[in-house]
Amino acid sequence: MNVNEIPYIIYLEATPNPSSLKFVANKLLLVSGASADYESSAEASDAPIVMELFKFPFVKRVFVASNFISITKHDSIEWEEIQNELRTFITNYLNKGNPVINKLPQREVAKDSGFKEKVKVNTQHVAPANDIENKIIEVLEQYIRPAVEQDGGLITFKSLKDGVVTVQMRGSCSGCPSSTMTLKAGIEALLKRLLPDDVKEVVSEAL
């Protein structure tokens, strides 16, 4: 049977963030490694499924990765009241052949000349400038990123300056009460153990 003939099945997975829930598909939604994070419908003009999800008044944030959608809700409602409604909607939407994301989101960045240019939202690591940064990215990719994605989130390397590693955390990791513990007890401890002469601290850049 052709994979395209297999209907989408959506199942739920909890995340460490009580406000976020993963809606996992049995087939890819995006090409492997691609992801996008949306905080409002204004950012989702090229993401039809995200536009539709933001029509639900309880949806606060949407993160789409290769085979799951991580949804963050407003605190005024409980998951038990809405999770089946969202799962049914996502399942029906996908099985009608509707598009997920037509184009990854872009953001404006200022250049030294004063002009602005459009670039893809940074869901991937910043290109390493030296061997140390390359090693940091290798550690994140091998040890950290798979676990973070299992929790419905994404972590990317942003910079290294004076021994301080700055990362960006998206999806369910953004605003998660346990993300600070994950950052310090997990990511920082591992990087300091593997690269003791180069890493002194790991911080997360606010999104």
Domain end call among 69, 95, 121: 95
Judgement on whether residues 79 and 146 belong to the same structural domain of the protein: no
Structural domain tally of the chain?
2
Residue 115 domain-assigned?
Answer: no
Judgement on whether residues 88 and 138 belong to the same structural domain of the protein: no
DSSP code for 128: P
Judgement on whether residues 81 and 154 belong to the same structural domain of the protein: no
Write the pLDDT tens digit of every residue in 111-159: 444 444 443 444 567 788 888 888 888 888 887 877 777 666 778 888 8
pLDDT of the residue at 116: 43
Handedness of CA 168, 173, 176, 181 (dihedral sign): negative
Residue 121 domain-assigned?
Answer: no
Judgement on whether residues 37 and 81 belong to the same structural domain of the protein: yes
> Residue 180: pLDDT above 50?
yes
Domain end call among 79, 95, 111: 95
For the domain that residue 23 is a member of, what is the CATH number?
Answer: 3.30.1370.70
Write the pLDDT tens digit of every residue in 65-74: 888 999 999 9
pLDDT of the residue at 73: 93
Judgement on whether residues 145 and 82 belong to the same structural domain of the protein: no
Pick from 161, 162, 158, 163: nearest CA to 137 = 158
* Stated pTM of the model: 0.66
Write the pLDDT tens digit of every residue in 78-103: 999 999 999 999 999 999 999 999 88
**pLDDT level of residue 35 (50, 70, 90 thresholds):** confident
pLDDT of the residue at 128: 81
Judgement on whether residues 72 and 7 belong to the same structural domain of the protein: yes
Residue 195 domain-assigned?
Answer: yes
Pick from 148, 18, 146, 8: nearest CA to 90 = 8
pLDDT of the residue at 33: 66
Residue 34 domain-assigned?
Answer: yes
Judgement on whether residues 68 and 139 belong to the same structural domain of the protein: no
Domain carrying residue 162: 131-205
